[in-house]
């Protein structure tokens, strides 16, 4: 029987699919016809029967597909009696920390509140910290903050500071720490940092592959929002910098339990669970399990969508700027009840023009 290794994970998109290797990391693109066949007949069929079931127009393609799966060790051949030895991986995501990360914008308005909160251990049991530091904060204050946080149990600290500090000798010592990563920004860091054109241009959305934990998280949660919080320049607590919903203010948080009330609230948890299978267009995208999109989903009528279009069009597999790209809105339309309805005929014609015939 042909069997997919348990650590291989297939994500079917509208036009093509991705195949992911949990153990070795990374992914490759595969045609939908192959993805659907190996998902459907996994552990149920012999090599020759799969060849018949796939009924490709060009049969030499089957050998090409099979060799690809075999060479990459995605599938193997085994006796039917062995199949029970290969149990599926449990994809349920659990994370042992209250939050995965906190991003703190340090400004002259909130620096004292931030210091007090760090000293009160409000951010206890959070492994990753990122500080975005307004340009007018002095190196000595930055170092004071890193010293407080360094004394806690943390896995990583990232400091995003303005280029003007690059030559400052004050940072040489903290740059030696294996826990601290200092990044110098060439964008002015002030209260308008996240809405500046330069920031928006640099981050239409983030797209990073972080391995199997991310895949597991993406099956149940939104990987940009889940277990993250952001403290803005007024010490307002939000999900992430792009959020408009204010969950509280750090000045009113006296102890860790007060913060836990916020992150256990329905308003916080509900948005974490809007994973990309629930968002229009993203649910048709083969990159949805590895995408960290920083657009905030909004509910319109019966569906979740985002105000702006993604730079990637999953219906024609083209990024904005690539030859042949057209915007998503030209590949279908939004219907009140069903959300985005792809225009199948138009997409099929476009894909033939761009990519040639199927298979």
Q: Which of 4, 281, 317, 347 binds ligand SF4 (CB under 6 A)?
A: 281
Half-sphere exposure of 256 (CA within 13 A, CB side): 12
The verdict on 282 binding ligand SF4 (CB under 6 A) reads: yes
Report residue 173: phi and psi, to 5°.
-65, -50
Residues of span 184-243 touching ligand SF4 by CB under 6 A: 205
CB atoms inside a 10 Å sphere around CB 71: 8
The verdict on 285 binding ligand SF4 (CB under 6 A) reads: yes
Q: H-helix or E-strand containing 148?
A: helix 139-150
Q: In the complex with ligand SF4, which residue's Cβ is closer, 118 or 317?
A: 317
Q: How far is CA 343 from the centre of its chain?
A: 27
Helix axes 139-150, 111-119, angle to 10 degrees: 20
Binding mask of the shown chain, residues 305 to 344, with x at each position contacting ligand SF4 by CB under 6 A: -----x-x-x------------------------------
* Residue 212 CB-density burial (10 A; 0-12 exposed, 13-18 middle, 19+ buried): middle
Binding mask of the shown chain, residues 6 to 45, with x at each position contacting ligand SF4 by CB under 6 A: ----------------------------------------
Contacts of 54 (CB under 8 A, 6+ apart): 33, 34, 37, 62, 65
The verdict on 275 binding ligand SF4 (CB under 6 A) reads: no
288, two tokens? 């949805």
* Rg, Å, the chain Cα set: 24
Residues of span 82-141 touching ligand SF4 by CB under 6 A: none
The verdict on 293 binding ligand SF4 (CB under 6 A) reads: yes
Instruction: Please state the closest distance from residue 332 (CB atom) to ligand SF4, in A.
Output: 13
The verdict on 291 binding ligand SF4 (CB under 6 A) reads: yes
Candidate ranges 20-28, 96-104, 229-237, 288-296; the one touching ligand SF4 (CB under 6 A):
288-296
Q: Which residues are at the interface with ligand SF4 (CB under 6 A)?
A: 205, 276, 281-282, 285, 287-288, 291, 293, 310, 312, 314
């Amino acid at each position: 029987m042909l069997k997919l290794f348990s650590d291989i994970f297939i994500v079917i998109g509208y036009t093509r699919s991705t195949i992911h290797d949990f153990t070795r990391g990374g992914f490759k693109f595969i045609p939908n016809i192959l993805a659907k066949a190996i998902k459907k007949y996994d552990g149920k069929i012999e090599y020759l029967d799969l060849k018949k079931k796939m009924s490709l127009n060009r049969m030499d393609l089957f050998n090409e597909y099979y060799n690809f799966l075999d060479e990459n060790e995605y599938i193997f051949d085994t006796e039917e009696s062995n199949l029970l030895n290969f149990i599926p991986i449990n994809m349920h995501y659990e994370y042992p920390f209250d939050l995965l990360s906190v991003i703190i914008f340090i400004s002259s308005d909130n620096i004292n509140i931030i210091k007090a909160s760090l000293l009160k251990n409000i951010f206890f049991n959070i492994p990753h910290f990122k500080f975005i530091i307004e340009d007018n904060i002095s190196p000595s204050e930055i170092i004071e903050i890193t010293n407080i946080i360094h004394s806690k149990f943390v896995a990583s600290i990232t400091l995003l500071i303005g280029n003007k500090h690059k030559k400052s000798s004050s940072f040489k010592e903290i740059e030696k720490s294996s826990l601290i990563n200092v990044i110098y920004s060439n964008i002015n860091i002030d209260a308008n940092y996240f809405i500046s054109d330069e920031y928006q241009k640099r981050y239409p959305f983030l797209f990073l592959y972080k391995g199997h934990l991310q895949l597991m998280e993406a099956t149940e949660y939104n990987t940009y929002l889940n277990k993250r919080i952001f403290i803005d320049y007024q010490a307002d607590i939000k999900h992430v910098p792009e959020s408009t919903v204010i969950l509280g203010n750090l000045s009113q948080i006296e102890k860790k339990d007060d913060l836990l009330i916020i992150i256990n609230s329905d308003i916080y948890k509900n948005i974490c669970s809007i994973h990309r299978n629930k968002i229009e267009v993203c649910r048709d995208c083969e990159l949805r399990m590895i995408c960290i999109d920083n657009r905030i989903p909004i509910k319109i009528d019966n569906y979740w969508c985002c105000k702006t279009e993604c730079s990637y069009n999953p219906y024609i597999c083209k990024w904005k700027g690539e030859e042949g790209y057209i915007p998503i809105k030209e590949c279908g339309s939004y219907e009140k009840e069903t959300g985005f309805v792809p225009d199948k005929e138009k997409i099929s014609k476009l894909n033939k023009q761009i990519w040639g015939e199927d298979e």
